[in-house]
Structure formats: C-alpha cells, structure tokens
Amino acid sequence: MEAIRWTLNQMPKGDGRWVSVMSQEHVAKARAFHRSFPQYTVTPLTGLPQMARHLGLGGLYVKDESFRFGLNAFKVLGGSFAIARYIAGELGKDVSELSYSYLTSPDFRRDFGQATFFTATDGNHGRGVAWAASKLGQKAVIHMPKGSAKSRFDNIAKEGAQVTIEEVNYDDCVRMAAAEAAQTEHGVVVQDTAWEGYEEIPSWIMQGYGTMVGEAAEQLGEKPTHVFVQAGVGSLAGAVVGYFVNLYPDNPPKFIVMEAQAADCHYQGALVGDGKPRMVGGDLRTIMAGLACGEPNTISWDILRDYADAFVSCPDWVSAKGIRMLAAPVKGDTAMTSGESGAVGMGLISTLMEDGSYQELCQALELNQTSRVLMFSTEGDTDPEQYRKIVWGGEYPSVYSRRS
C-alpha cells in the first residue's frame, strides 16, 4: 500500500497581494447573488461527535455539498458567480444589481444577447457552468479529459452544453478551451484556474466558493482549530484558506492542503521549498477526478504558499477509506454520501489519528482531543458506479490500524 507523503510549509512568504480576493466584502456579494436563486438553500454542516471521540478529537465537522442546487457538488457556486460578474461588467453594472430573476428574464436577453462560455472540467465545474449558462439562456462548450466518467459526461450534456471527452489530460483541455474561446465571437473562458494574464475570472470563481465557506463558518459558530481542504488546481483551497485568514487575521486556524498523489503539484512545490509553483504532467490517473490537475492556480498558490501549514499527497486508498467511513460512520453519527474528491479529508484525518506512522505530522499540527476539525465533502456520488465499487465492492482497500 502506498504511503501518504507530507511536508510542513517552510516556504518563504510572498507579498500576500491575492488574499484580499477573499475579503468579507467580496464574499458577501457572492452570497447575496446565490441567495437570489430559487434553488438556494444552505447545505448541511454535519457534526460527527462519535467519530471525533473515536479518533481522539474534540470535534469533527463536515460541510456536505451533495445537496447544492440539486447538482451533487459545490462547483456551481464558482461558475455561476463568475458568469454573473462577467455579465455585470459587460452591462456596466455591479454584480449586486443582477438578481437571478433579472438574469432569467426577457429584459436580460434584450440587454445582453448571448455569449458562449468555454471551460475544461473533470465533471463538477463543467456541470455547474453548463447549468448556469442554461438557466441564463447562454451557450456552453465543455471539454473533459480522457478517462472521464460517462455519468459525469451525461450530467453535463443534460444541461444542454456542447461537451466532448478529449484524448488529453485536464491541463491540456484547459488550453484547448482557452484557444477556442479566443477564436469565437462573444467567447469567454470560465476556468477555475489562473495563469499570468488570466486572473480576473478565476478570482470571481473563488469568491463564489466563498458562499460555501461563509455558510460553514456561520454554522460552526466558533473558529475551527484545523481546516482540511483538498486541492486540484487549488481554487477551492485558496478560497477556503483566504476566507478564514480574512475572518481571523490575527489567529487563523491551521490549514492542511490535501492532493491526489498522482497530481500533487502543490505538495511538490512545497517540497522544493523555494516558494515557486511546480507542475505535474502525464495522465494524472486517480479516482479523485476533481483533483486530477497538475498545474496550480497562480492566485491560490500565492495564498497557500503564505498561509498553509502542511501539504499532504494522498494515494487513492485514502479517499476510498474516507468514502466508506462517511457512508458507515460510528453508531449515532449521520451517514453521508461523499464522492472520491469529497471524502479524502475523512480518510486522511482518520489515518493521522490512528496510524502511528504519521505521529510526527499529527504532533506538528497539534491534532489532539482539543481540536475542532472542519472538512469539506465537496461532492456526492457524481460517479455512482465507482462509488458503489468502493463502498459495496471494497475497491482500494486500506489496512486498518490503531495508533501505537
């Protein structure tokens, strides 16, 4: 069984110029926009007190995004808000002037017309962009990397988008989407990663994710001591870390950034330790499809380099373990359906607390019976067939152990 790899963050800090992207003011606008949707409800923050006691923690809380807008994942928050911010700019308005009712009205179509929104996705982000475009009477073109699940393809196609599965990896799909948008009249890239010269829309996507984080902070009612957050390109991780740094500037929680081992670009950058991002190439094969990204978002890298406490590279068995634990928790706790990219936090937290091999990291992070731990289950069973193979069939087994 492959081992979990980790490194504490010892990188030199940058100028911190991007953390303000997740200011309370910016996030408040995103939350107000999302509240205007008739589909909007606050997703559950589920406490697992029996699991926390079993693991030796003071508290364990899981934000369950399988309920978000009926789309089984959080990603729609970013894509929808970015599209709204883009439209607001084209109309010379502030996004606070654009409610869902206006954006779905004949007046909006007369004022704005129609654009085509391009993106690359492993599933959830593309579905969110396609859903938002459909609701607003816009077009969407979605490219997925090779190996993408048919169920995720079908969910995007159902929203009326033009969707393809390409014979390249995720990062190459991003380049494909950007090139096509540049050649299309009223073509716009809505991508949840950033690179030099493409930073505005990714920052809006991160602010959209702030709706989820803001809900969780209010539901928790007190500062968590530790926040575990997964990273693909890093937009979610940067949004979560940036939000809490702005909320608790003098004493933020400890932040643990988790990646799929096949696509652990943030971990690799932290391992070198010079503060510069690193890239991971190849097929990026992992069951954590939403994390199969080998090139960091430059905005979120800036935030994570300055504020993350540890970077952890997780083999697939960590995610599978987390899926099973959330599906069948300690008696008395609420069961949850958490997909491959959503459950990695549960698998990692339990392993750190129960396996003596990782005692050094556990102690460095001060994870103990006083810890209040927050994690994000970012998706439900977005690939139902794979989910059943893991839960029912026992795929990707782990060796159960107790802390020595």
Find out whether 82 and 76 touch, Cβ atoms under 8 Å: no
Q: Under 8 Å CB-to-CB from 170, ≥6 apart: which residues?
A: 120, 122, 145, 284, 292, 293, 294
In degrees and rounded to multiples of 5, residue 193 shows phi and psi of: -140, 160
Fill in the DSSP letter of residue 12.
P
Identity of residue 365: L
> Measured between alpha carbons, how far is residue 260 from residues 99, 117, 212, 313, 364 in Å?
37, 28, 22, 6, 22
In degrees and rounded to multiples of 5, residue 238 shows phi and psi of: -65, -40
Determine whether 122 is an active site residue.
yes
Q: Is 255 exposed, middle or buried (0-12, 13-18, 19+ CB in 10 A)?
A: buried
Matching residue, tokens 């079993």: 54
Q: Under 8 Å CB-to-CB from 359, ≥6 apart: which residues?
A: 403, 404
Q: Which of 64, 122, 306, 381 is catalytic?
A: 122
126's tokens? 């593309």
Fill in the DSSP letter of residue 69.
G
249's tokens? 């500037």
The strand pairing partners of 198, in sequence order, are 195
Q: Which of 29, 63, 64, 75 is catalytic?
A: 75
What single string gives the DSSP state of each residue in 332-385? TSPP----TTTSHHHHHHHHHHH-GGGHHHHHHTT-STT-EEEEEE-BS-SSHH
Identity of residue 267: Y
Determine whether 75 is an active site residue.
yes
What single string gives the DSSP state of each residue in 170-201? HHHHHHHHHHHHHTSTTEEE--S--BTTB-HH
Q: Which residues are catalytic?
A: 75, 122
